[in-house]
Amino acid sequence: MRITAPTPAPEALAFTAPEGGQVPITMAALAHCDTLFAPFLGWASALALQGALPRRDHELLALRAAHNSASAFEWDEHSVFARRAGLSDAEIARVRNGPDAEGWAAFDATLLRAADELHRMFSLTPSTWAELSARYDTAQLVEAVFVVGQYTMLSMVANVVEGD
Number of Cβ within a 10 Å radius of residue 18: 10
Packed helices 72-84 and 55-68: angle between N→C axes, nearest 10 degrees: 160
Average pLDDT over all residues of the chain? 93
Give the phi and the psi of residue 159 in degrees, each rounded to 5.
-65, -40
List Cβ neighbours of 129 (8 Å cut-off, separation of 6 or more): 141
Give CA angle at 14 (1, 162), nearest 5°. 15
Domain 55-162, second-level architecture = Up-down Bundle (1.20)
Backbone angles phi, psi at 134, to 5 degrees: -70, -20
Comparing 11 with 163, the larger pLDDT belongs to 11
Q: What is the rounded distance in angstroms from the CA atom of residue 115 to the CA atom of residue 118?
A: 5
- Percent of the chain residues topping a pLDDT of 90: 76
The mean pLDDT value for 5-18 works out to: 77
pLDDT for the residue 19: 65
Residue 75 phi, psi (nearest 5): -60, -50
Q: Which residues of 21-48 are buried (b: 16+ CB within 10 A; e: fewer)?
A: eebbbbbbbbbeeeeebeebbeebeebb
Report the range out of 22-31, 37-46, 96-105 with the highest average pLDDT.
96-105
pLDDT reading at 163 higher than 90: no
Sketch the domain layout of the chain as residue ranges.
11-49, 55-162
Task: Report which residue type is found at 80.
Answer: V
pLDDT in tens, 104-155: 999 999 999 999 999 999 999 999 999 999 999 999 999 999 999 999 999 9
User: Whole-angstrom Cα distance, residue 66 to residue 6?
Assistant: 26
pLDDT (0 to 100) of residue 82: 97
Q: Is the pLDDT of residue 50 over 80?
A: yes
Question: At residue 1, does pLDDT exceed 70?
Answer: no
Q: Which of the pair, 69 or 30, is modelled with greater confidence?
A: 69
Report the alpha-carbon distance of residue 125 to residue 82 in Å, rounded.
Answer: 26
